[in-house]
Every structure is written in C-alpha cells, then in structure tokens.
C-alpha cells in the first residue's frame, strides 16, 4: 500500500510538470503573423530575491518654473506645493499598501531645513540662471514637513528622504565639491522627525554626486567618510527606537571605480547602495520609441546591473542594491512617450531585468511630475505605467526564477514565484507590432521526467486517467495589457480589452484577470504585455 501511495505521489508530481509543458492562453488577438515559442524556467532555486515592496516611486522638488526644451512639465508636483487633499492621489498610493516613496531629486542638495536654531529665512526656490541647475537654494518649512508626514501616514507609504549632501562643501572651478559634509542641518531635521514620531523607512545621502557627477561631484573617499558620519548620527538619534531607518547612498549614476572605492571604504555603515538609470538619453530624443522597442538596446542596461552585483558580492558588504531613481529619459521625459502605453515596455522590462540581478527595490521617477509620472501631473489620473506597477506589485512574488525564451527576439520573458498564492507568475512582453506569439512553458533542469518514467509504467491505467481529467479542469489567470485603439502613444491602457480608469470618487479600478484552461497556449498579441498566474505549478524555488 505504501509503495502505491509513493508511486501515485510521483505521478502527481509529474502531472504538475507535464501540465505546464503542455502548451499552456487566451484572448483572441489578431496579428498578421503567428509564431510559436517556449518559455524555459529553471525552478530549482531562486536567482534573486526582491523586497516585498519592490515597487517605489519618487517625489521631487522642482518648482513650476522648471522647463526643458521649451516645455514646463512640472506644474504643482513639488514636495512644497503638491495638493495633499486630492483623493485620487491618496487612493493611488493606498492601492499598493504599501508604496515606497523616495523624496528627492536634482534640487535636494540645495534644500535647507527650517529649524529652531536656523537664523536664515525659509525661502522658496527661485529662478537664477547663474546658479547650479538654474535655481537658488530652497527651504523645507517644518509646517510642510508635518503636512507631508500626516499625508504619508494616511496613505500608508514607506518614506525615504534624500538629504542635502553639499552642505558645508565648496564647489571648485573644476566642478568638484571639496571639504567634509556639514551634518548639522540634516541632524536638526532627523531629530525633529524622531521627536514628532514620524516613521522613516530610510535616509539617503545626496543626489547624483558619484563618479563625474551631475552639476558637481564628490570623491568616493570623502563620500564614504560622510556616510559613516551619517550612520553614526542616525545610530545616536534612533538609539531609543526599536528600529532604525536604512542608511542609503549615493543616489548617483553607476561608475565602477567610484562605487568600488566607496563600498570598500564604508565598512558596513551602508544598508543600501542606490544608482540611477536614464539609459534612453534626453527626453527630446526623437528616437525614444525606437529604442524602447529594440531588444538589443534594452539588453544594454544588464551590464550595469551585473557589474554592480559583482561589486557588492566581492566586497563582502551586507549592503544591497536599489535603483533609486529611473525615469528612462532625462530632463523630464517626453510627453506621450514616457507617460504613454509604450513606456510600459521599457518599465516592466526594467523591473524584470533588475530583479534577476538581485535588485531589491526599484524607484520610478516619478510618482507625479514631469512627463514620466505614474500619475498625470495636472489631473492626478493614473497613466498606463501606474497600472503596470500595481499589477507587478500585486502579482510578482519575491523569489526570482531563471527564465529564457526560445523563439523571436522580440519577446521579453520573466518569471517569479507568485505573490498571490502558490504557483508562479510569468511576465511576457511582445515588442513586435505584427506578430502574435503562441507560447508554452517548460521547466529547465527542474526534474528529470524520463528518469521517473519507469516508476509510472505499472500504474499507467488509473493514474493517467486521473491526469487527463485534472488537466482539463486546471485554469490559469491572465492579465493582457494593450493600448487603446492600438495607439502606442495612448495614455489609456486596456486590461483584457477594457479601459482602466478611476471613477468619480477616484477609486482605482479592479484588476480582474481572464481565466483560461491550462491546455490552451499562452497567446501574446502584437505590442502587448501579459502577466500569467499558473497556480498549479509547484517548484522547489517557490517553497
């Protein structure tokens, strides 16, 4: 009897695998051409592990006068003037439960914090062409800091605050910033925050001062010294608290030599190493869409992720890597590209790719503001990438699976253990506008099916009938994302053919999947994105 139970168990195990090897989807999609392909997943062990709250978005300091290429795209999206009473804004953040929000950006190293001991007036940023970045220093009033924290608490957000790392330094004629960081003003803000009982997920030192810097730069050795100073201060200020926030740096563009020297000099005073990504070039580039739809161009960023992962591994540090800011195209993005459907190809590919290199968190520039916001700068209504981010957040689990696609180069494939329940999530991105892809899912090296065949042979009768009955009853959930009217530059996204939009109360719509028999192939339409939940696949990596 025991032997029969064991053999039946083997049969069930093989069924789980064979049901996924069976061509595994979907809405009827008409492409001019149809091709077949296979997603291969190695389910033996995870190749990376993301944070539970992997999705992060930024809020910036730019005033309405910030303009690029003759376009002023920031409106009232600054931390200093954002409408905190907007219900769409509140509900958009609450939908994540929680959403990480990084407060910072180009002007953060020009922000002073109002404090009891400050003798300077608390002035707003103002235009001045002779100033770095075109603006005078600005001030964060404590009244506004109170309002922001009340809002973030209500929204259930996890806050990372970017501190001014240029305080006390002198900018030289060669563009370098010399001298030690003066932590006194930052300490006044941190102490105020603790006294008020405001929760902070992390404190980040500086913005884009690494390597050759943007505007100015700080040497890796000096930055490490300043980071140790920050960590010691946070240890001191938070000593009575149960938990201390993360210490984060440098919030700049990856430079291998600089990052290597920096991490080797911080001596485990650093929790998170952040880097920024604007790999598509300037927002004014007329070829942005071509770059987004070019798989070879998208592959280019993998080298940065790989090299940073190797630096962290070889240094012996406990620090992990985050993408601290990524807007794709710098100088505020490009209207109807970086806030349109087409940008989800770049964005979701970045989320998938960064995960495979053990990136823990990915912060999108921006939550609102510029032409690359998850929300419309004026109306607060979600842009397509908001829904892409929310689906990722709700569906893609922490364990990352090694995944490849055999077939057209225009399919980008990623897989994680499911966040919903048991099983796996597969993300498929079709960069081809003319071809529908029919794909199956197979498992590379997870178990050796031929090796088990002789155990099943004696029980073929009853066990295989059970398999056939169950296979026809197993279903998976699919989320097909397409552009309204097939227009890649549309700011309306369709989920399974239905437009996604908030109602008059600002409620985020339900993200309801299709349920598809597991014997059907996964069908990925032209210029579409599909999330697939396969709850019946049980892999060792997901236990």
CA distance 194 to 210: 29
Q: Show the tokens assigned to 273.
A: 């190493």
Helices (H), ranges, 60-114: 87-94
Exposure of 231 in the CB half-sphere (CA atoms within 13 A):
17
The separation between CA 454 and the C-alpha centre of its own chain, rounded to angstroms, equals 46
Residue 325 appears among annotated catalytic residues:
yes
Helices (H), ranges, 129-255: 142-155, 184-195, 220-237
**Do residues 171 and 177 touch, judged by C-beta distance below 8 A?**
yes
- Which of 398, 420, 400, 291 lies closest to 353, judged by CA? 400
Phi first, then psi, for residue 164 (nearest 5°) are: -70, 110
Check 114, 187, 204, 325 and give the catalytic one. Answer: 325
Phi first, then psi, for residue 288 (nearest 5°) are: -60, -45
End-to-end CA distance of the chain: 28
**Do residues 214 and 264 touch, judged by C-beta distance below 8 A?**
no
The separation between CA 533 and the C-alpha centre of its own chain, rounded to angstroms, equals 20
DSSP class of residue 335? T
CA distance 113 to 122: 8
**Do residues 151 and 159 touch, judged by C-beta distance below 8 A?**
no
**Do residues 103 and 160 touch, judged by C-beta distance below 8 A?**
yes
Check 208, 301, 438, 478 and give the catalytic one. Answer: 208
Phi first, then psi, for residue 390 (nearest 5°) are: -70, -40
Cα torsion at 136, 137, 139, 140 (round to 10°)? 110
Phi first, then psi, for residue 436 (nearest 5°) are: -90, 135
Active site residues: 208, 325
């Amino acid at each position: 009897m025991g032997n029969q139970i064991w053999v039946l168990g083997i049969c069930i195990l093989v069924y789980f695998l064979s049901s996924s090897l069976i061509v595994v989807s979907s809405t009827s999609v008409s492409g001019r051409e149809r091709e077949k392909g296979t997603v291969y997943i190695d389910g033996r062990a995870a190749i990376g592990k993301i944070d539970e709250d992997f999705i992060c978005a930024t809020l910036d300091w730019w005033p309405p006068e910030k303009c690029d290429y003759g376009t002023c795209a920031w409106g009232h999206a600054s931390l200093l003037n954002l409408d905190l009473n907007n219900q769409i804004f509140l509900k958009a953040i609450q939908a994540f439960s929680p959403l990480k929000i990084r407060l910072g950006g180009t002007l953060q190293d020009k922000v002073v914090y109002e404090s009891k001991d400050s003798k300077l007036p608390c002035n707003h940023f103002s235009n001045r062409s002779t100033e770095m970045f075109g603006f005078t220093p600005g001030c964060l009033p404590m009244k506004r800091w109170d309002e922001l924290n009340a809002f973030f608490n209500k929204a259930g957000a996890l806050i990372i605050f970017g501190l001014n790392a240029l305080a006390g330094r002198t900018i030289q004629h060669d563009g370098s910033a010399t001298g030690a960081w003066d932590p006194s003003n930052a300490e006044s803000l941190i102490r105020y925050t603790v006294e008020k009982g405001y929760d902070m997920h992390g404190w980040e030192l500086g913005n884009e001062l690494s390597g050759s810097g943007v505007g100015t730069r700080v040497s890796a050795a000096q930055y490490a010294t300043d980071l140790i100073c920050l960590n010691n201060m946070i240890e001191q200020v938070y000593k009575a608290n149960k938990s201390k926030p993360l210490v984060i740096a440098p919030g700049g563009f990856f430079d291998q030599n600089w990052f290597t020297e920096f991490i080797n000099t911080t001596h485990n005073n650093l929790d998170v190493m952040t880097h920024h990504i604007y790999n598509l070039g300037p927002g004014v580039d007329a070829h942005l869409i071509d770059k987004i739809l070019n798989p070879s161009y998208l592959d280019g960023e993998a080298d940065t992720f790989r090299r940073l992962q190797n630096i962290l591994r070889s240094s012996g540090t406990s620090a992990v890597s985050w993408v601290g800011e990524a807007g794709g195209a710098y100088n505020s993005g490009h209207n109807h590209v970086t806030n349109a459907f087409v940008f989800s190809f770049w964005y979701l590919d970045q989320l998938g790719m960064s995960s495979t290199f053990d990136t823990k968190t990915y912060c999108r520039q921006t939550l609102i503001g510029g032409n690359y916001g998850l929300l419309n700068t004026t109306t607060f209504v979600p842009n397509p990438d908001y829904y892409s981010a929310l689906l990722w957040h709700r569906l893609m689990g922490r364990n990352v699976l090694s995944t490849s696609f055999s077939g057209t180069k225009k399919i980008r494939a990623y897989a994680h253990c499911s966040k919903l329940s048991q099983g796996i999530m597969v993300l498929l991105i079709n960069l081809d506008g003319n071809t529908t892809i029919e794909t199956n899912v197979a498992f590379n090296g997870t178990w050796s099916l031929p090796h088990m065949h002789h155990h099943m042979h004696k029980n073929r009768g009853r066990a295989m009938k059970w398999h056939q009955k169950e296979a026809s009853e197993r279903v998976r959930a699919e989320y097909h994302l397409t552009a309204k009217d097939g227009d890649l530059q549309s700011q309306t996204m369709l989920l399974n053919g239905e437009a996604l939009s908030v109602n008059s109360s600002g409620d985020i719509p339900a993200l309801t999947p299709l349920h598809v028999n597991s014997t059907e192939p996964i069908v990925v339409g032209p210029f579409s994105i599909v999330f697939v939940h396969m709850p019946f696949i049980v892999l060792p990596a997901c236990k």
